Amino acid sequence: MAGIVAAGFYIPRSAITSEAYRKAAGHFSGDGIAEKSVAEFDEDEITMAVAAGDRLLADVNLGMVHVLAFATSNSVTGAALVAEALGIDPAKARDVRGADAGEMALAGAIEIASRDEIQTLVIAAEAPRSDPSTTEEDPLGAGAVALLVTSEGVPWSGGPGPSQSAIRRKVGDVGAASVLLSFLTTLEPSKITGDIDVTGALKSREYVTYERYLAMRRRASPRGTEYSQGAYVSLPAYLSEKKARYRLVGEACTECKRVHFPPREACLGCGARSWVDIPLKRTGTVYANTVIGKGAAPSEFLEQQLATGDYATAVVELDDGPRITAMLTDVEPAAVRIGMRVRMVFRRIYAQEGFVRYGFKFAPA
C-alpha cells in the first residue's frame, strides 16, 4: 500500500512562550499554544524545507526521488530552489500552495505512488509572513516536514487535526506543515527511515524575549540597500556557482585529483582545466574568526545587523581540506573560538534588487 517510507523534520532552535509574548505584546490569541518556534532572521520556508529535506536525504538515496513537491500556505514559489539545494533536478519539482497545501501534496503523492509507482518527496514548510504587530501573528510558528512517499509504505490515516495536536502546543500553527508534523508524531519509528523524534528535538530549545523575537522577524524589503553603487555581484554571476553556494560542491582536477573550493579556472596543482564535481563533507573547523561590529558590515548586511546585532564571520577549514570564508549562524557571536566544530546550513544570505540570495553559512556542529 502506498505510503511513507522515510521522514525528516526541522524546527528552528529558538522558541518564545505565549506568556512572554502576551506580556510584552499585550496580546496573544492562540488557544492551546503554550510556546511557539521562531525562525532565525536568515531562515524562511525555503531554508527550512531544505533543512528538513537534507535530514531525510541523509539516510535515503537521491535516486529514490522522482518528484519533489514543496508545500507552503504562503505565496512563495520555491520548489525549484529547494530542489537545487537538495541536489534534485529542478525539473522534477513543483509548488503546492494554499492553507491545506501539505495535505494536498501528500494526498497527491500517495495517489501517483499507488497508480504509477512514482515516488515523491513531499516537503511542507511554514514561517509567519504576517504583520508582527497584529494578532494574526500571535499563533504562527515555524517549521518544516519532509516525507518520502512510495508504493509500499506506512499509509496516511489522515492523522489528528492540527488543533488537537500536542505538537501544536509546543510549535504553534505551522500552516501547511501542521497536519504533516502531527502525522509524523503518530508514526512508528521502526517502520520509518530517519529521525522522527519531534518531541525530543523540542527539549533543547532556546527561549527568546519578545524584543528578540521582533528582531528575528524580517520585514518585507531592505531599506536603502536595494541597488549597489559600488561592490556588486550580479544574479547570473551568483547563480553560476550555485552548486558551490547551495550544496558545498567542490571540483576535483581530473588530472591530479586536487580538490578546489570554491571553483577556479585552472588547477593550482597541475594547471589542468577539466573538473569533476565533488560534494564536500559539510563539516569543518573554525580556522580564524571575527565579530562584525558597528561600521564594519557591508551594505548588503546592514539590515541584518541593525535587526539582530553584531554577527560572526569565520574562515572555516573544511574536513575535506579547502578553507572558505562564511558567516556563522545559530550561535552567540562572542562564543565562537578557533577550533570550534561547525556544520554547513543553507540560509538566506542577503536580498538585492528583489531577489533573495541563498547560500551556505555554518552553525555549531
Helix axis angle, 79-86 to 45-57, nearest 10°: 40
Q: Cα–Cα distance between 14 and 350 in angstroms, integer?
A: 21
Residues 180-209 that bind other proteins (CB under 8 A): none
Strand order in the sheet with 249-253: 259-260, 249-253, 275-279
Residues 254-293 that bind other proteins (CB under 8 A): 262, 287-293
How big is the site for other proteins, counted in residues (CB under 8 A)? 44
Which of 22, 169, 242, 357: binder of other proteins (CB under 8 A)?
Answer: 357
Residue 359 binds other proteins (CB under 8 A): yes
Question: Nearest approach, Cβ of 229 to other proteins (angstroms)?
Answer: 5
**Residue 218: Cβ-neighbour burial (10 angstroms; 0-12, 13-18, 19+):** buried
Q: Cα–Cα distance between 205 and 16 in angstroms, integer?
A: 10
The answer for residues whose C-beta is within 8 angstroms of residue 339's C-beta and 6 or more apart is 285, 286
Question: Nearest approach, Cβ of 304 to other proteins (angstroms)?
Answer: 8
What is the grid cell recorded at 189?
A: 519509528
Which of 59, 95, 100, 241: binder of other proteins (CB under 8 A)?
Answer: 241
Enter the DSSP assignment of 310. Answer: -
Which of 70, 225, 253, 331: binder of other proteins (CB under 8 A)?
Answer: 225
Residues 122-151 that bind other proteins (CB under 8 A): none
Contact 280, 256 (CB under 8 A): no
Question: Nearest approach, Cβ of 239 to other proteins (angstroms)?
Answer: 12
Q: Cα–Cα distance between 271 and 225 in angstroms, integer?
A: 39
- The residue range among 2-10, 111-119, 235-243, 273-281 that interacts with other proteins, by the rule CB under 8 A, is 235-243
Q: x-or-dash pattern for other proteins, window 297-336, by CB under 8 A? A: xxxxxx--------x-xxx------xxxxxx------x--
Q: Which residues bind other proteins (CB under 8 A)?
A: 224-225, 228-233, 237-238, 241, 262, 287-302, 311, 313-315, 322-327, 334, 338, 349-350, 357, 359
